[in-house]
Structure 1
C-alpha cells in the first residue's frame, strides 16, 4: 500500500484582518482526502511564504549571486 502525502501553503481569508497562512499536509483516509495543519505561518513576511510555496511546487531555487 502506497501513501502519497502532499505539503502545501493554504491562505485563509479573514474579514477585516490579515489572512491566516497555514502549512498543510494532504493525505487519504480510505477514500476521503483529509488535511492536517502542520504550522501557522502568519507571522512570516509574504516574500518568505512565496519562497516556501515555490519550494513545495518543485522550483529550482538558487542563492542570489550564483549563476
Structure 2
C-alpha cells in the first residue's frame, strides 16, 4: 500500500467515524431537546480517530508484509 493510499484510507475512516458520532449526537439532541455535554462526545471521536489511524499505521510492522515488499 502506498503512502498516499494509506493516508487517504486513514482519513476516510476518520471522517466516517466522525460523521457517525455526529449523527448520534444530533439524534440524541433532537430527541431530548436538552443540552448534551459536548465533552462526552468529543473524546470518543478523538479516540476512534486515533484508533483508526494507528490500526492502519501498524500494518507496516508486519514482517511478512516487509518480505513481500522487498521482493517487489
TM-score, normalised to structure 1's length?
A: 0.32
Structure whose residues are more often strand by fraction: 1
Higher relative contact order (CA 8 A, sep 6+): 2
TM-score, normalised to structure 2's length?
A: 0.30
Determine which structure has more spread, i.e. the larger CA radius of gyration: 2
Structure whose residues are more often helix by fraction: 2
